[in-house]
Structure 1
Amino acid sequence: MAEIVLQDIEKYFGDNYVIRKLNLTIAHKEFVVLLGPSGCGKTTTLRAIAGLETVDTGDIRIDGKAVQDLRAADRDIAFVFQLFALYPHLTAYDNIAFPLRATRESKAEVETKVRQVAKALKIEHLLKQRPSALSGGDMQRVAIGRALVRRPKAMLMDEPIGALDAKLREDMRSELKRLHIENDSTTVYVTHDQVEAMSLADRIAIMNDGVLQQVGTPTEVYRYPANLFVAQFIGSPVMNILPATVRGEGPRSELVVGEGAAAFDFPGDLPRRLAGKQHQSLTVGVRPEGVIVFTEEAPGTIPVEAHIIEPLGAYDIVDFQIGGQLLRARTTSGMVKRIGETVWARLDEAQTHFFDTGSGDSLEIRLGEGHGAHQA
């Protein structure tokens, strides 16, 4: 398979600066997901690797060989599109066999390779069907089979399951991960769906406005976001983001959020640690599971009033009004019984992130270990 290196890649469409000095290395056999909102440059980056778009500056290397000036056909890369792109007049078998016949492989080799890939994709029983007789999930399997059948150096996928319904997307996520492992392939996958990215990727490359924001494992980008954009793009529900100040000295300090109506108990060395970081003003971020909720008053908690309750079966998402802001928490199912109910909350210091409000960058302050699950 292949190592893919992107070095100082830039791309313009007229005056639109689409990719901005992008540097990324995708290791041999790695599954990397390019994640970001629509228009961030992720699909253009994928198409540049494939040779479907030219780059204005920078190098693209596959296994150490510069390919930015090579045609797509000469890069030994397979591309899977969102909308299947199957030949409607050909059967599933003939669609999969098409790239092999284009390179004049023997009939016996074509038969063997098509049967092998059909077995891996569990579509052997569909080989005689034309695309019009197939479901969306089956058509995507055929499209993936056509890409896999010639054993390319790398697989590039542009939102390949975005057009499927929720259940099919879930099934196809498992299939894609299994195929990646079984084929020892290098895979680059584009999506705007962070659930797909978290479940599929070895590493996630998060982009916004043509700029690479952060690269890391799903755990790294979730637990240690590099900036406010990553913090709010990764995670569902999104991270709570609140303006804050810190006050106090001694063994404990206070983290004051919103308009000053709420002060959470925090470690006493927090003011000193913040003083050592260059920042203009402070923004804190905490994920809903980092808001620890109690039904009775407990040390270090403050009273909060339920504003909205979203029952989601295994757990609830509850919005609390605090300091003129909404603070969203993930609680056990049925823990908060009604809107307007008062409960008590604190912030898990291990899951509280500190950002420079001006730049949006993380101040990289890591506090103590987490305290476990929500209390009843």
Structure 2
Amino acid sequence: MTQIELRGVQKFFGAVQVIKDLNLKIEDNEFIVLLGQSGCGKTTTLRAIAGLETIDEGDVLIDGKAVQHLKASDRDIAMVFQSFSLYPHMNVYENIAFPLRATRMQRAEIDKEVREIAKVLRITGLLDKKPSALSGGDMQRVAIGRALVRRPKAMLMDEPIGALDAKLREEMRAEIKRLHLKQGSTTIYVTHDQIEAMSLADRIVIMHEGVLQQVGSPEEVYAHPENLFVAQFVGSPVMNVANATVSQSAGKATVTVDGASEGFSFPAELLGKLNGSAGKPLSLGVRPEGITVAHEKAEGFLPAEAHIIEPLGSYDIVDLKFGSQLLRARTRSGFVAKAGDRVFARIEPGQAHFFDTQSGQSLGVRL
């Protein structure tokens, strides 16, 4: 079993603090993705776990043992980087075997281990080839094989498929997930791509400016974002966020976005759940699939003008204008014919999120 824990980790580069009081526990065999924008501290966190960066405060524990004072070579952790870093003069077999030769393992054992890893990675037919003869995806498989062949306690990956084209990235995402399920090793994966995070992770760790924002399953961080940063960082297209006020009208709650002349009708229970925030400026969040669009006027639907239509194959993203406010909605392909068309839309109450505009924190309201 391999558990990794960070307790109160702080890291400075000069006067700049890049990791701020980070606490995180990673369970055995878990696939954790560190997700955030460039400069948020995710790669520094990964390097601190690996022993490639020293920390200024806190503890890094592996299987309950503090390792922050140990060298990288003494932590029994493998790391895969974005650059493949293969030895160009060695063939694939020798590249994978290199870490084992360094431990003076017997030749027969080396051969067994290399061929077993090659079979798992489906590169058995490439063992005699040099890196220069391989595709980008195959080179990354070799780099992963070289890391895995030592059977380390944990595998750390720093944007390993970021340099590949879109099709190869998709293939390698599936390959990395399959490999994790087969090998069952504790894995920590760094990326800025939320699609990678959603498709690979058991849990996603979202960071911003060195601060941990939220930890949860892909479903949790998508459906229940804890703050505005998470709400707008996770999901494609991003969540609509608009300043809004909530009022009471005819026994129901009315949510009016800034610049709109009419408000959306919500169940009256919203007023009670807002705990006194009704009437105050709030931020309303709703994902495009949470807005229903119709061609005919119906109860609860407000008139809107189609502004921009983005055809995305199986569905369209349509910008709807309510007064001066734009909200993006997801519709079936071709449902709105052209920009300028008049349609009607409503926000599904169960898809709405409410945030404190000043702090950005979710108010935890679910209908």
Q: Same fold (TM over 0.5)?
A: yes
Give the conservation status (yes or no) of the 8 Å contact 2:306–2:318: yes
Secondary structure of the corresponding residue to residue 164 of structure 2? coil
Structure 1 residue 38, shift from structure 2 partner? 0.2
Give the conservation status (yes or no) of the 8 Å contact 1:281–1:358: no
Give the conservation status (yes or no) of the 8 Å contact 2:4–2:62: yes
Can you list the C-alpha shifts for 1:57-113, whole angstroms capped at 9, x where unaligned? Answer: 000000011100000000000000001111111111111001000011010010000
1:71-82 correspondence to structure 2 within 5 Å = 71-82=71-82
Number of residue-to-residue matches in the alignment: 367
Partner of 2:282: 282
Note if 1:259 corresponds to 2:229. Answer: no
Determine the C-alpha separation between the residues in 2 that align with 1:160 and 1:254: 48
Determine the C-alpha separation between the residues in 1 that align with 2:250 and 2:274: 15
1:1-376 correspondence to structure 2 within 5 Å = 1-276=1-276, 281-367=281-367
Determine the C-alpha separation between the residues in 2 that align with 1:316 and 1:156: 37
Determine the C-alpha separation between the residues in 1 that align with 2:18 and 2:210: 5
1:174 partner letter: A
Give the conservation status (yes or no) of the 8 Å contact 1:95–1:142: yes
Can you list the C-alpha shifts for 1:281-310, whole angstroms capped at 9, x where unaligned? Answer: 300000000011111111110111100011
Can you list the C-alpha shifts for 1:211-238, whole angstroms capped at 9, x where unaligned? Answer: 0000000000000000000000000000
| TM-score, normalisation: structure 2 | 0.98
Give the conservation status (yes or no) of the 8 Å contact 2:97–2:110: yes
Structure 1 residue 279, shift from structure 2 partner? 10
Determine the C-alpha separation between the residues in 2 that align with 1:118 and 1:191: 25
Determine the C-alpha separation between the residues in 1 that align with 2:309 and 2:166: 24
Give the conservation status (yes or no) of the 8 Å contact 1:41–1:208: yes
Secondary structure of the corresponding residue to residue 274 of structure 2? helix
Structure 1 residue 3, shift from structure 2 partner? 0.4
Determine the C-alpha separation between the residues in 1 that align with 2:21 and 2:276: 31
Structure 1 residue 326, shift from structure 2 partner? 1.0
Give the conservation status (yes or no) of the 8 Å contact 2:245–2:279: no
Structure 1 residue 261, shift from structure 2 partner? 2.1
Determine the C-alpha separation between the residues in 1 that align with 2:277 and 2:308: 36
Secondary structure of the corresponding residue to residue 53 of structure 1? coil
Structure 1 residue 278, shift from structure 2 partner? 10
Can you list the C-alpha shifts for 1:120-177, whole angstroms capped at 9, x where unaligned? Answer: 0011111111111111100000000000001000000000001011111111111101
Determine the C-alpha separation between the residues in 2 that align with 1:279 and 1:56: 46
Determine the C-alpha separation between the residues in 2 that align with 1:103 and 1:202: 33
Give the conservation status (yes or no) of the 8 Å contact 1:250–1:268: no
Structure 1 residue 272, shift from structure 2 partner? 2.8
Determine the C-alpha separation between the residues in 1 that align with 2:84 and 2:147: 11
Identity %: 64
Give the conservation status (yes or no) of the 8 Å contact 1:251–1:269: no
Determine the C-alpha separation between the residues in 2 that align with 1:6 and 1:277: 36
2:288 partner letter: P
Determine the C-alpha separation between the residues in 1 that align with 2:104 and 2:225: 49
Determine the C-alpha separation between the residues in 1 that align with 2:91 and 2:25: 38
Determine the C-alpha separation between the residues in 1 that align with 2:184 and 2:173: 17
Determine the C-alpha separation between the residues in 1 that align with 2:109 and 2:305: 68
Determine the C-alpha separation between the residues in 2 that align with 1:87 and 1:176: 22
Distance change in 2, residues 1:20/1:278 (3 Å): farther
| TM-score, normalisation: structure 1 | 0.96
Which range moved further: 260-269 or 135-144?
Answer: 260-269
Q: Which runs of 5+ in 2 are unaligned?
A: none
Determine the C-alpha separation between the residues in 2 that align with 1:216 and 1:277: 27
Determine the C-alpha separation between the residues in 1 that align with 2:85 and 2:33: 22
Give the conservation status (yes or no) of the 8 Å contact 2:245–2:280: no
Structure 1 residue 250, shift from structure 2 partner? 5.0
Determine the C-alpha separation between the residues in 1 that align with 2:275 and 2:142: 58
Distance change in 2, residues 1:277/1:7 (3 Å): farther
Give the conservation status (yes or no) of the 8 Å contact 2:246–2:279: no
Partner of 1:370: none
Q: What's the C-alpha RMSD, in Å, of the aligned pairs?
A: 1.2
Structure 1 residue 267, shift from structure 2 partner? 1.1
Determine the C-alpha separation between the residues in 2 that align with 1:4 and 1:346: 46
Structure 1 residue 280, shift from structure 2 partner? 6.3
Give the conservation status (yes or no) of the 8 Å contact 1:280–1:358: no
Which range moved further: 273-282 or 80-89?
Answer: 273-282
Determine the C-alpha separation between the residues in 2 that align with 1:278 and 1:352: 15
